[in-house]
Amino acid sequence: MVDPLLIYKVGIDMIPKIGSINAKKLIAYCGGIQEVFHQKKKDLLKIPGVGDALASAITSSDVLGQAEREVEFALKHKIRILYYLDPDYPDWLKQCEDGPIVLFVKGASDFNFNQHKMLSIVGTRNATDYGKSFCDELVATLAQNGQKVAIVSGLAYGIDIAAHKAALKNGLPTIAVLGHGLDTIYPAIHRNVAAEIAQSGALVTDFPTGTDFDRKNFIKRNRIIAGMSAATLVVESDAQGGSLITADLAISYNRDVFALPGDVTSRYSKGTNYLIKTNRAALVESAEDVEYFLGWEKKESKAVQQTLFPTNLSPEEQSVLNFLQGTGKESIDVISVKTGLPIPKVSAILLNLEFAGFVKPLPGKVFALVGAR
C-alpha cells in the first residue's frame, strides 16, 4: 500500500522549476505539504516569491501520478525515500537551505547517515598515481585510527572511484551521490562497485527514475556531496575542474575544505594549489591533518595493538617486524639487506604479516607497519 503522504513529498519536488528553496517556503507558508497542492492559484500568488509561472505549474501540473509511480518503483526495489524533515535525513544536509526535499537511498537497511562522521573526497577524473595513492593511505589510516567515518563521493572516474574503493577495502561505509535516478548506474563500468557500496553504505540521489543524462545534473548533485559532510577534501583538480565547484559549495555551507598540494608543474594540481594559495582550503598531507582540523579523536585500533604486541611469530617474521618497528616503512630490497633474508623469503613473510594485520603494502614495493605514518 502506497503512503499517500509520501506521494505528496515526492510530488512537490517534481513540480517544474520549483526548486528546493521555494518548495520549503511553500510547505511552511501553507502549513503542510498536502496543503500546497490544495491551494488556489490566486492564493498562491499572494505568497512571496511565487509568480504566475510557478503558481500555474502547481495548480495545473499532473505530478502526483508521476510521483505515485516513483514511490511504487522505490517500494519494489527496496529504495528508501527520505523527506527533509525525517529524523533519518542527513543532519548536515538538513542545514543547507537548498538541500533536496527528498532523497532516494539504495543501500544497507541499517545504514544511518547520522551515526557516522562524514568526509567528502572529490577530485579529477584523470587521477594520477599520486592522487590515488594518497586516497588509499588516507582512508586506510582513518580506519586504523578507529574513525567511524563514511566516505562520500560521486562514483565518477578518477579520484571519486578511488575514494569509494579505498573505503570498501578498509571496511568503512561509503556513499555514492549520483547525478541520475536509481534505475541506472553511470558510468556503467562502476556498476559492480555500486553494488558493493550498497551492501554496507548507500547510493543516494535526488533525481527520479528516467532522468536524462545531463552535465548540469552532475554539477547539481555536487551540492549534496558538499552539504552531506563536515568537510570536503579535494585531492587533485585542474584549474577549471568540477571539484572546485564542490569546494565552493562547501565554503558557502560554512564547511571545512581541505586540499592536497601537488607539483606546481602538474595540470592536476593547479586547482588544489589554487585553493590553498587563496585560503579557500587548508593544506593536508595525511589523515592526521584531517583529524586535527576536524577535532576527531584518534582511537587505537585492534590492528595497531597487534603491531605493538605481536605473538606467535617465527624468528624470521619477528626479525622483519622488529626492523619495521624501527623504520616505520621500507622497501622489500632494503628489508632484505638489513635482515639478511633473501627477497623471495621477505616477500612471503610480508604477505603473512599483511594477512595478520601487522603491515600494509604501499606503492613502489614498500611495506609499512600498520599505524605508521
What pLDDT was estimated at residue 313? 82
Query: Does residue 334 sit within a domain?
Result: yes
Domain identity same for 8 and 122: no
Domain identity same for 18 and 144: no
Range from 22-31, 130-139, 354-363, 364-373 carrying the lowest mean pLDDT: 364-373
Residue partners of 317: CB distance under 8 A and separation at least 6 = 349, 352, 353
SS3 category, 281: coil
Domain identity same for 264 and 319: no
Helices 343-355 and 315-327: crossing angle in degrees, nearest 10, is 80
Q: Give pLDDT tens digits for 298-351.
A: 765 444 444 454 557 888 888 898 888 878 888 888 898 888 898 889 888 998
**Domain finish residue from 243, 263, 294:** 294
What pLDDT was estimated at residue 90? 94
Domain identity same for 152 and 220: yes
Q: Which of 5-19, 40-54, 114-128, 354-368 has the highest mean pLDDT?
A: 114-128
What pLDDT was estimated at residue 1? 64
**Domain finish residue from 237, 268, 294:** 294
DSSP state letter for 310: -
Range from 136-150, 199-213, 250-264, 292-306 carrying the lowest mean pLDDT: 292-306
Query: Does residue 84 sit within a domain?
Result: no
Can you tell me the mean pLDDT for 123-151? 94
What pLDDT was estimated at residue 163? 96
What pLDDT was estimated at residue 191? 94
What pLDDT was estimated at residue 288? 93
CA geometry: angle at 101 spanning 99 and 107, to 5°?
90
Domain identity same for 281 and 225: yes
Report the C-alpha gap between 314 and 349 in whole angstroms.
Answer: 9
Domain identity same for 282 and 358: no
Query: Does residue 128 sit within a domain?
Result: yes
Q: Which of 26-30, 107-111, 194-198, 296-300 has the highest mean pLDDT?
A: 194-198
Identify the band that residue 93 occupies on the pLDDT scale cut at 50, 70 and 90.
Answer: very high
Query: Does residue 104 sit within a domain?
Result: no
Q: Give pLDDT tens digits for 183-204.
A: 999 999 999 999 999 999 999 9
Domain identity same for 58 and 130: no
Domain identity same for 171 and 310: no
Domain identity same for 323 and 283: no
Q: Give pLDDT tens digits for 231-257.
A: 999 999 999 888 999 999 999 999 999
Q: Give pLDDT tens digits for 252-267.
A: 999 999 999 999 999 9
Helices 191-200 and 159-169: crossing angle in degrees, nearest 10, is 40
SS3 category, 351: helix
CB 366, CB 303: distance < 8 Å? no
CATH code: domain of residue 254: 3.40.50.450
Domain identity same for 153 and 195: yes
Identify the band that residue 179 occupies on the pLDDT scale cut at 50, 70 and 90.
Answer: very high
What pLDDT was estimated at residue 304? 46
> Domain total for the chain?
3
Helices 315-327 and 332-339: crossing angle in degrees, nearest 10, is 120
**Domain finish residue from 245, 261, 294:** 294
Domain identity same for 186 and 145: yes
> Domain residues for 257?
113-294
Domain identity same for 355 and 314: yes
Can you tell me the mean pLDDT for 350-373? 80
Identify the band that residue 46 occupies on the pLDDT scale cut at 50, 70 and 90.
Answer: confident
